[in-house]
Amino acid sequence: MSFAIFYVVNMQRERAVQPASQIIQGIQAEIAKSPRNSSLRVRLGEAYLAQGDTDAAIDALNTAVEIDKKNGSAYLVLGFAHMGAEDDNEALKAFLKAIEVRESGEYSGMDTILEQGHFYAGVIYYRQKNYDEAIVQLKSAARINKSSSDTHFYIGKAYAAKKWYGKAMQEFNVAVTFDPKLAEAQYELGRLFERQGDKVQAVTRYRLAAQAMPNRKEPKEALARFGTEDSHYAAGNAFMKKKNYAAAIKEFNMAIAFDPGFVNAYQLLAQAYNKTGQRANAQYALGQMYERSGQTAKAVKAYRKALKISPGFRSARDAITRLVGK
């Protein structure tokens, strides 16, 4: 199996304290009084899904759409039920039908049922390796809900599968902007940065993925390929003694990528930057050292020096805003 964890369908559960069987009996009693009520059939299907009975759920939801062929919610939940039964082909048909009946609605631009129909159709197309159609459906979902990290993650996966790595990186970055703890997206970014040869960013992303998913082995195995913070710190010290400051900078940055709280690495990184005439970077490294050690006033002072040397130094400006506000 691939590392990416496919989106898990979270069905709405009945929050009542009664057992599921009593909930189902209650809905069935309502249906007996109003047998042509499609919405009641949807509620019954959801209750069966909550109980784990996908076959009964599918029967109830098929009846719902027979009663009301324009019930988009029924088609959507029917798609969930078929996914639960591991029948992606039937699930896709249901999601596409949900899209068909909802896309011409007056409020389609904010229709969550339509958005979910596009999203899950896109997920299934991705599973079926129909990446072009997956992108079409997922982008349609993103137009309705621009801040869905899951949607941007799957768009990135589809682009990566097509080897459109630049676009994939853009989408993964959007995903982690909305949800920095989205481990799968951080991991995929790590893979892309590693592919580009950017070891520092690769380690940073793999570390974030490992922190978000401590029980998964893949991020840990990826990190192990790059050594440890101690090995890079030792290598940086060795290069400093040889006055190979450019190489030392690379090693100290790697040590920090493994451990952003590695105060001593920041201190030596600042020295190496000064030796190579990179004064703004040196001040920024000192700011990070002070910030990590809890010396906020000194950190702000160092960041301001970096910004004075290089007025366009965005990271320094962001650090000042983070610590003292605008």
- Chosen domain end from 172, 191, 226: 226
Both tokens of 165, joined, read: 């790595």
The 10 Å Cβ neighbour count of residue 211 is 12
By mean pLDDT, which of 3-17, 25-39, 190-204, 236-250 is the weakest? 3-17
State yes or no: pLDDT of 326 exceeds 90: no
- Residue 10: the pLDDT is 44
255 and 199 assigned to the same domain: no
Task: Please report, as a single letter, which amino acid is at residue 144.
Answer: I
- Closest-CA residue to 49 (of 16, 32, 24): 24
Q: Is 47 contained in some domain?
A: no
Confidence of residue 120 (pLDDT cuts 50, 70, 90): very high
211 and 265 assigned to the same domain: no
Q: H-helix or E-strand containing 283?
A: helix 279-292
Q: Is 198 contained in some domain?
A: yes
| Count of domains for the chain | 2
- Residue 27: the pLDDT is 93
What percent of the chain is helix, strand and coil (3-state, nearest 5)?
75, 0, 25
293 and 242 assigned to the same domain: yes
269 and 197 assigned to the same domain: no
Confidence of residue 11 (pLDDT cuts 50, 70, 90): very low
- Chosen domain end from 194, 226, 258: 226
Q: Contact at 8 Å (CB) between 319 and 286?
A: no
276 and 214 assigned to the same domain: no
Cα gap 302→169, rounded to integer Å: 32
Mean pLDDT confidence for 140-149: 96
Q: What digits encode the pLDDT tens for the residues 146-180?
A: 999 999 999 999 999 999 999 999 999 999 999 99
What are the angstrom distances between the C-alpha of 38 and each of 12, 33, 101, 136, 181? 18, 13, 15, 30, 39
249 and 305 assigned to the same domain: yes
Q: What percent of the chain has pLDDT over 90?
A: 89
Find the domain containing 188 and state its range.
180-226
Q: Is 65 contained in some domain?
A: no
190 and 216 assigned to the same domain: yes
DSSP string, 243-308: T-HHHHHHHHHHHHHH-TT-HHHHHHHHHHHHHTT-HHHHHHHHHHHHHHTT-HHHHHHHHHHHHH
Mean pLDDT confidence for 198-207: 98
234 and 320 assigned to the same domain: yes
State yes or no: pLDDT of 1 exceeds 50: no
186 and 264 assigned to the same domain: no
- Residue 183: the pLDDT is 95
Q: Is 276 contained in some domain?
A: yes
Q: Is 194 contained in some domain?
A: yes
210 and 277 assigned to the same domain: no
Q: Contact at 8 Å (CB) between 37 and 31?
A: yes
Q: What digits encode the pLDDT tens for the residues 252-293?
A: 999 999 999 999 999 999 999 999 999 999 999 999 999 999
- Residue 18: the pLDDT is 59
Instruction: Find the angle CA(57)-CA(59)-CA(65) to the nearest 5 degrees.
Output: 100
Q: Is 142 contained in some domain?
A: no
Q: Is 120 contained in some domain?
A: no
> Maximum distance among all alpha carbons in the chain?
87
Mean pLDDT confidence for 192-204: 98
Q: Is 164 contained in some domain?
A: no
What is the SS3 assignment for 112?
Answer: helix
Please state the three-class secondary structure of 65-86 as a single string: HHHCCCCHHHHHHHHHHHHHCC
- Chosen domain end from 192, 226, 260: 226
219 and 244 assigned to the same domain: no
CATH number at residue 205: 1.25.40.10
